[in-house]
Amino acid sequence: MPICITGGNGFIGQYLVRQLLQEGYSSISIADRNLPPKEIVSKINFIKGNFSDKKVLTKILSPGCVVIHLAGTSNQATAENDPIADAETSIIGTLKLLEAAAGRKISKFVFMSSAPAIYGHARKLPVATDALPQPRSVYGAMKLSLEHYVSHYAERYGFSYVILRSANAYGPGQFTMTHGVVSKFAYKILTGAPVEIWGPPNMKRDFIFVEDVARAIAASIKPKVKNVTLNVASGRKTTLGELVRNVEKASGIKARVEVKEMRLIDVPDLYFSIKETTRLLRWKPQTSLAYGVEQTVNWIRKSVQNGMGK
């Protein structure tokens, strides 16, 4: 089946494209503002541009295709700093994509959401998808709004949908100072900067390696998986103190930790149930935290040595 990916050259997007190619998918189109690596671009249909641009959408969307929407320019910090710009880009842009997708009579829309941002302060742990969403940030409110738009358009125009609420994804290739606790901690430890923990170090979180995320997305495009919201997480709880110790071990450097008071957007313990995801997708995470952190630290170390990494 034709697969159309927005943000296909992003952090998760590159891993997803490689996963799909490995599984034998050959009709893959991606829209992104930056050219993918040579080994990828030669095997796909690449359209340069913004995912909400009408000309780009005309070229990338085809009848019956599966749309995987990964594109987005915001995170917790940028959305909080400029909520209006975030809404104009993320919400309006996705609405344009949904309108175009409906007009092209797509078969399925897969939307990448955020479990930490959606659930907020959890009453019961691990958090299952039937828990009441309680976003505590502009970013979370935006993601939850888009989830509702996706399900509404799917019902109205007759295509199926899958919403994937990802835990804290990490791995080689992640922009270290804008996304991801693991990458931020690794970058700061490697460069000698203090690691800031907002709240007690024994707070529990859920971290999932990017390759496991890519496999889950690939599993979600199968025709039998439809009209569901699923958590994509490790199924494990990790304290922030444990994460620091894993980065220390992988880097061989002792961290300087600064414990600060929790902010409005921060929440206490937050980790997720993947029982339904495992059952429906026949998927489970395969990467240990120790291995994933080691791979991430090695990549960031090379980036720092080359004057990159941020």
Query: What is the Cα–Cα distance from 137 to 277, expressed in whole angstroms?
Result: 25
- Report the number of secondary-structure helices (H) and strands (E) in the chain: 13, 13
CATH number for the domain whose boundaries are 3-172+207-235+269-287: 3.40.50.720
Cβ proximity of 234 and 216 under 8 Å: no
Domain locations in the chain? 3-172+207-235+269-287
Query: What is the Cα–Cα distance from 207 to 184, expressed in whole angstroms?
Result: 13
Average pLDDT over residues 124-148: 95
Write out the two tokens for 206. 């859920």
**Statement: residue 207 has pLDDT above 70:** yes
- Confidence bin at 25 (pLDDT 50/70/90): very high
Cβ proximity of 266 and 192 under 8 Å: no
pLDDT tens track for 137-159: 999 999 999 999 999 999 999 99
Q: Which pTM was predicted?
A: 0.95
Average pLDDT over residues 110-116: 96
